[in-house]
Structure 1
Amino acid sequence: MTTSRPPGPPPRPFGRALCAMVTPFTPSYELDLPAAQELAVRLVEDGCDGLVLNGTTGESPTTSDEEKTALVRAVAEAVGDRAAVVAGVGSASTAHTAALAGAAERAGVDGLLVVTPYYSRPPQAAVEAHFRTVADATGLPVMLYDIPGRTGTRIEVDTMLRLAEHGRIVAVKDCAYDLLGSTKVMGRTALAYYSGCEELNLPLYAVGGAGYVSTVANVAPRAVRGVLDAYDAGAAAEAARLNQLALPLVELMMASGLPGAVTAKALLNLPVRGPLQEASEEATARLRSALSALSPVPAPPG
């Protein structure tokens, strides 16, 4: 088992600034592939190194397997090699997850996001076996998704250390709210840790994280990325200032009682599928006010 992290900068197998992209639907709630391609291209042009599709922000519980595959194929074609495309393939079934992984690989994605099986609350040995089975199902690199607040099951530190030994398990989307545990794993493995909670983007990055997978980046990609750009430039105080500026929008989008898919789509003027409901006019007005209050952010480098 790896006992220390390799020297050098943290690994970034999917880049640094990733957006958990919404899934556009038409007014009649059909999958809108042209709108998805347009949004994907715009996000890449605004500094996103990667796009994560078919996650919770992408309303994956309400899209069919065929829609998921069509979405990742369309977005991969639209962005080409300008950004990594990572497909969410998680489900409560190991066999179904492996099948989704295979379909995503055939559709041309660069990696897989695999969430812990939810609701059934499997013990750690079963969690580990699930991830290994899915990682063995394709030749793609895998990002584990640790979000016990939604799944009911944590990927424990010891389990994560064992999974890090698998050659295709290369990254973690971290929503465990356990900076101590995450730091321990980063110190002992080569896993790339991506913050999945915007309020922890900067803290996790400062202790060796790879970057983030952000819902807020759907509407403010430059502002979210600008925090890490400042930190990388050696301007820690400026990074902290930019982080503070973004917090009102982050709080409204991610901690106001509305799902991130709802708040992001309210700002993008896109419909959501049931059981989600669109944000009220009052909530949307608050969101728009917070977004407009963000200072203009320069274009990302490169």
Structure 2
Amino acid sequence: MSFGRLITAMVTPFDEQLNIDWETTGRLIDYLIDEQKTDSLVISGTTGESPTLSDEEKVELFRFAVKHAAGRCKIIAGTGSNETAHSVQLTIKAEQTGVDGILLVAPYYNKPSQEGIYQHFRTISEATSLPVILYNVPSRTVVSISSETTLRLAQLPNIVATKECASLGQMTEIVSGAPEGFILYSGDDAITLPTLSVGGYGIISVASHIIGARMKQLIEAYLEGRVNDAKKINEECYPIFNGLFNCPHPVPNPVAVKHALALRGFPVGGVRLPLVPMDDNEAAFLQNLLDN
């Protein structure tokens, strides 16, 4: 199954009481498909505030997204956690909602060995018939899925891709050693173009909420051999890639992208604690960035 080159890790819209705003969620799905040209959506990933969503909310989000997208894009359910049994159960529930794939983050906080990481993902993958995307983001999880462990997991029948927030060196090792059909996505908007250059397939993106259509043009330009065009688009997009995480200092995702959507006339509500909204200086920085 192809999830496409541009995947958006979708925010979860909230109302004034920080409950899920279902009407806005539907409009956001339409906007990302129709205007930002996303090929697939990750529901309840980090950008969707998965740490503060209940399992019941996640399952209802999966079900809603599948029904609303109605085949216009693929729906990928974020079901990973640092408890293997919990991830298995949530993955089973997700599959029952009709999602197209599963995204599994590396098990955070309890710092398993590489063998523990392998057994964690293997156990979850064996509980589902859906294609699985691994998610390696050591800045958040403390542990990193080594390239050796990733390639070992890539031999399993339904582990089909990895989302990498590691070095370009590790990406190169994975791409060069991967079996046919196993693909690599960047998890960092700022290195979309370098990832393509070392053999990566695409991007699982935050910035695509704001500049997805332009990012699709970047990818297409590179794939068509128009490298200078891709370079120019990358230079144009880079301030947004960087600014959504540094306003001008580090701001936790998805605080900035939710604020940016509101500035673009598409309010999606606030963030749940322990995240807090942007302060006035951060908001002014982001406003200036979007204006320019």
- 1:140-198, Cα deviation, whole Å (9 max, x unpaired): 0000001111111111111111101100000001111x212211211121321011001
Query: 1:203 aligns to what SS in structure 2?
Result: helix
Structure-2 residue corresponding to 1:151: 141
Residues 74-223 of structure 1: matches in 2 within 5 Å? 74-176=64-166, 178-189=167-178, 190=180, 191-223=182-214
Structure-2 residue corresponding to 1:13: 2
Report the residue type matching 2:251 in the other structure. Answer: L
Report the residue type matching 2:115 in the other structure. Answer: A
CA distance in 1, matches of 2:260, 2:148: 40
Residues 276-287 of structure 1: matches in 2 within 5 Å? 276-287=275-286
CA distance in 1, matches of 2:66, 2:128: 18
Query: 1:254 aligns to what SS in structure 2?
Result: coil
Query: 1:194 aligns to what SS in structure 2?
Result: strand
CA distance in 2, matches of 1:91, 1:63: 12
Report the residue type matching 2:33 in the other structure. Answer: V
2:187/2:205 contact within 8 Å kept: yes
Report the residue type matching 1:79 in the other structure. Answer: A
Structure-2 residue corresponding to 1:260: 253
When the two chains are superposed, the root-mean-square deviation of aligned CA atoms in Å is 1.2
Return 5+ residue gaps in structure 2 as ranges. Answer: 263-268
Return 5+ residue gaps in structure 1 as ranges. Answer: 1-11, 294-302
Report the residue type matching 2:113 in the other structure. Answer: P
Identity of aligned residues (%): 38
2:168/2:198 contact within 8 Å kept: no
Report the residue type matching 1:209 in the other structure. Answer: G
**Moved segments of 4+, more than 6 Å:** none
Report the residue type matching 1:45 in the other structure. Answer: D
1:193/1:211 contact within 8 Å kept: yes
1:115/1:146 contact within 8 Å kept: yes
CA distance in 2, matches of 1:288, 1:222: 20
CA distance in 1, matches of 2:94, 2:218: 32
Query: 1:22 aligns to what SS in structure 2?
Result: coil
CA distance in 2, matches of 1:284, 1:132: 43
Structure-2 residue corresponding to 1:225: 216
Tell me the TM-score normalized by structure 1: 0.90
Report the residue type matching 1:165 in the other structure. Answer: Q
Residue 286 of structure 1: how far off its partner (Å) = 2.1
CA distance in 1, matches of 2:2, 2:289: 32
Moved more, 116-125 or 243-252: 243-252
Residue 14 of structure 1: how far off its partner (Å) = 0.9
1:249/1:287 contact within 8 Å kept: no
Match of 2:20 among 31, 36, 49: 31
Query: 1:144 aligns to what SS in structure 2?
Result: strand
Residues 1:45 and 2:37 are matched in the alignment = no
Report the residue type matching 1:81 in the other structure. Answer: G
Residue 127 of structure 1: how far off its partner (Å) = 0.3
Structure-1 residue corresponding to 2:57: 67
Residue 13 of structure 1: how far off its partner (Å) = 2.5
Residue 279 of structure 1: how far off its partner (Å) = 0.9
